[in-house]
């Protein structure tokens, strides 16, 4: 039996295969908390109900000892999960000694170097399950709304998000890069399949140590033919609202474990406010920031803006000079691009970057040159503007930043099983 299915087995004798989470015992009775990955079950061992050897072993059980334990399942509202096991027999697979992560407080550096073990703790259990639901609901939403999953390559000859954060590798004698984003390939597949998305790991050699940056992160990237930047925002707000609602519906236990105030997540409903970049600059200046029109926003600026709203907020129409080469220039204001970032509330800042793509071949070519990119490398991408070019838009939602916000975590390092950071590639 898996622990999360205990309610189906009340009154029956069942076996649980797992690890010892905690124990306590008095003279005649012992309580063993066993975890099996799906949950934690209280197993009650009464001295005169088991043989002496078993009771003796129970008293010597240590944290993370692996064991199979069997007995009758009973409803017990005081037990975690509402069911407990009255133990009849037990088999120890390995009696563990010296497990490094104890119930006392540990520092972050210690926990990070023991990430392979830290994942067994209750809080990490809750976060990883919320992460899985965020990913599943992102995919479900897109699968159910006419988007086709079309995978983008990880090895590429092209930079998508600027050459300064490329990880390069040798591809049989020519340089290749790890994907920063599947977007350019999505634009090709959107012209073939209409509405598409890719979902996969992306890589950026981020030299900055911040609470929002990983060097390897997962991104879900939808792309839509015949879609302008504002319709793109309509999809994003439905998408994000759906994801948050699914987490609230399906992960209440996990949200309670991490003590998330869910009333703030309940406020995530459409429509999301849309603030032009110019206004965002004014908001920042009023808040005492020295930011000037034309400057990009860093984490601090995003936090100030996102703190002004209870819902996620779009900031749109950034200066084209601070945005990627593929963004469509606003025909009514040549200095700005038809793009929008979505900033999560509670100070979290950007979780989505997106916008309308430049669909004019000459304009795009001039941007390729202006960025110092090689025209030859982008011929295939320019072809998309030569053969049946249409207005099209898309966006990328960063999974780790979304998990950080939904779980209200202070740093992205806990949002992914094995975080890759500037100075961290072990374990
Ligand atoms: O650079 S983005 O803003 N946009 C793109 O990559 C587009 N090419 C996506 C698209 O339109 N298809 O990154 C998108 C999101 C951003 O909002 C973050 O949530 C996340 O990807 N992101 C990151 N998360 C963690 N660590 C790092 N370093 C990081 N960089 C971006």
Query: Is 349 touching ligand 1 by the criterion CB < 6 Å?
Result: no
Gap from CA of 323 to ligand 1 centroid (Å): 12
- 199 within a domain of the structure (yes/no): yes
Q: For residue 62, how many other CB atoms are within 10 A of its CB?
A: 12
Q: Do 318 and 282 share a structural domain? A: yes
User: Is the pLDDT at 305 greater than 90, yes or no?
Assistant: yes
Q: What pLDDT, on the 0 to 100 scale, is given for residue 339?
A: 98
Q: Do 379 and 251 share a structural domain? A: yes
Q: Do 178 and 30 share a structural domain? A: no
102-125: pLDDT as tens digits: 988 999 999 999 999 999 999 999
Query: Is 213 touching ligand 1 by the criterion CB < 6 Å?
Result: yes
d(CA 42, CA 50): 16
- 138 within a domain of the structure (yes/no): yes
Beta bridge partners of 275: 315
Q: Which atom of ligand 1 is nearest to the CA of 222?
A: 12
Query: Is 161 touching ligand 1 by the criterion CB < 6 Å?
Result: yes
Gap from CA of 197 to ligand 1 centroid (Å): 15
Gap from CA of 352 to ligand 1 centroid (Å): 6
d(CA 100, CA 114): 8
Query: Is 353 touching ligand 1 by the criterion CB < 6 Å?
Result: yes
Percent of the chain with pLDDT over 90: 96
Gap from CA of 18 to ligand 1 centroid (Å): 38
Q: Do 332 and 196 share a structural domain? A: yes
Query: Is 185 touching ligand 1 by the criterion CB < 6 Å?
Result: no
- 100 within a domain of the structure (yes/no): no
- 426 within a domain of the structure (yes/no): no
d(CA 394, CA 199): 13
What pTM did the predictor assign? 0.97
- Number of domains making up the chain: 2
Q: Do 402 and 309 share a structural domain? A: yes
Distances in Å between the alpha carbon of 61 and those of 92, 120, 408?
9, 17, 35
Q: What pLDDT, on the 0 to 100 scale, is given for residue 99?
A: 97
Q: Do 270 and 167 share a structural domain? A: yes
3-class secondary structure per residue, the chain:
CCHHHHHHHCCCEEEEEEEEEEEEECCCEEEEEEECCCCEEEEEEEHHHCCHHHHHHHHHCCCCCEEEEEEEEEECCCCHHHEEEEEEEEEEEECCCCCCCCCCCCCHHHHHHCHHHHCCCHHHHHHHHHHHHHHHHHHHHHHHCCCEECCCCCEECCCCCCHHHCCEEEECCEEEEECCCCHHHHHHHHHHHCEEEEEEEEECCCCCCCCCCCCEEEEEEEEEECCCHHHHHHHHHHHHHHHHHHHHHHCHHHHHHCCCCHHHHHCCCCCCCEEEHHHHHHHHHHCCCCCCCCCCCCHHHHHHHHCCCCCCEEEECCEHHHCCCCECEECCEEEEECEEEEEECCCCEEEEEEEEECCCHHHHHHHHHHCCCCCHHHHHHHHHHHCCCCCEEEEEEEHHHHHHHHHCCCCHHHCCCCCCECCECCC
Q: What pLDDT, on the 0 to 100 scale, is given for residue 294?
A: 97
d(CA 337, CA 347): 25
d(CA 235, CA 195): 12
Q: What is the residue-averaged pLDDT of the chain? A: 97
Q: Do 119 and 84 share a structural domain? A: no
Ligand 1: which of 151, 185, 213, 353 to mutate, most ligand atoms within 8 Å of CB? 353
153-189: pLDDT as tens digits: 999 998 899 889 999 999 999 999 999 999 999 999 9
Q: Do 127 and 7 share a structural domain? A: no
Report the CATH number that the domain containing residue 49 is assigned in CATH. 2.40.50.140
20-37: pLDDT as tens digits: 999 998 889 999 999 999
Final residue in a domain of this structure, among 94, 125, 141: 94
Report the CATH number that the domain containing residue 344 is assigned in CATH. 3.30.930.10
Q: What pLDDT, on the 0 to 100 scale, is given for residue 208?
A: 85
- 50 within a domain of the structure (yes/no): yes
Q: Do 150 and 80 share a structural domain? A: no
Token digits for 297?
A: 């926003």
Q: What pLDDT, on the 0 to 100 scale, is given for residue 27?
A: 85
Could you tell me how far CA 96 lies from the centroid of its own chain?
33
d(CA 386, CA 379): 10
User: Is the pLDDT at 94 greater than 90, yes or no?
Assistant: yes
Range of the domain at 211: 115-414
Q: For residue 259, how many other CB atoms are within 10 A of its CB?
A: 10
Q: What pLDDT, on the 0 to 100 scale, is given for residue 84?
A: 98
54-82: pLDDT as tens digits: 999 999 999 999 999 999 999 999 999 99
- 423 within a domain of the structure (yes/no): no
Q: Do 129 and 39 share a structural domain? A: no
Q: Do 168 and 26 share a structural domain? A: no
246-303: pLDDT as tens digits: 999 999 999 999 999 999 999 999 999 999 999 999 999 999 999 999 999 999 999 9
Q: Do 120 and 83 share a structural domain? A: no
8 Å CB contact between 203 and 178: yes
- 102 within a domain of the structure (yes/no): no
- 243 within a domain of the structure (yes/no): yes
């Amino acid at each position: 039996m898996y622990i999360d299915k205990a309610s189906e087995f009340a009154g029956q004798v069942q076996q649980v295969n797992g690890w010892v989470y905690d124990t306590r015992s008095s003279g005649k009775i012992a309580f063993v908390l066993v975890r099996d990955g799906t949950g934690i079950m209280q197993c009650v061992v009464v001295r005169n109900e088991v043989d002496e050897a078993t009771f003796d072993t129970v008293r010597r059980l240590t944290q993370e000892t692996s064991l199979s334990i069997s007995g009758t399942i009973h409803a017990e509202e005081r037990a975690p999960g509402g069911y407990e096991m009255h133990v009849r027999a037990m088999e120890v697979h390995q009696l563990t000694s010296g497990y490094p992560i104890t119930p006392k407080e540990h520092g972050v550096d210690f926990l990070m170097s023991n990430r392979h073990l830290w994942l067994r703790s209750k809080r990490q259990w809750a976060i990883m399950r919320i992460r899985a639901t965020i990913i599943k609901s992102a995919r479900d939403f897109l699968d159910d709304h006419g988007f086709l999953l079309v995978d983008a390559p990880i090895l590429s000859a092209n930079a998508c998000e600027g050459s300064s954060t490329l990880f390069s590798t040798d591809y049989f004698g020519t340089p290749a890069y790890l994907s920063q984003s599947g977007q350019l390939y999505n634009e090709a597949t959107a012209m073939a399949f209409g509405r598409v998305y890719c979902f996969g790991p992306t890589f950026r050699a981020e030299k900055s140590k911040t609470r929002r940056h990983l060097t390897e992160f997962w991104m879900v990237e939808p792309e839509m033919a015949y879609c302008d930047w504002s319709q793109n925002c309509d999809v994003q707000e439905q998408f994000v609202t759906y994801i948050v609602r699914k987490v609230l519906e399906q992960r209440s236990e996990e949200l309670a474990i991490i003590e998330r105030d869910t009333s703030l997540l309940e406020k995530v409903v459409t429509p999301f406010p849309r603030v032009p970049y110019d206004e965002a600059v004014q908001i920042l200046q009023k808040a005492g920031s020295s930011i000037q029109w034309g400057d990009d926003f860093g984490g601090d600026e995003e936090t100030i803006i996102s703190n002004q709203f209870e819902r996620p907020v779009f900031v749109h129409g950034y200066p084209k000079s601070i945005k990627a080469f593929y963004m469509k220039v606003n025909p009514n204001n040549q200095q700005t691009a038809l793009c929008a970032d979505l900033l999560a509330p509670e100070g979290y800042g950007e979780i989505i970057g997106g916008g309308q793509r430049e669909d004019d071949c000459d304009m795009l070519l001039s941007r390729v040159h202006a960025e110092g990119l090689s025209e030859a490398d982008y011929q295939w991408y320019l072809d998309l503007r030569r053969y049946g070019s249409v207005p099209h838009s898309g966006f990328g939602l960063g999974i780790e930043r979304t998990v950080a916000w939904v779980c209200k975590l202070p740093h992205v390092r806990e949002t992914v099983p094995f975080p890759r950071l500037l100075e961290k590639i072990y374990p």
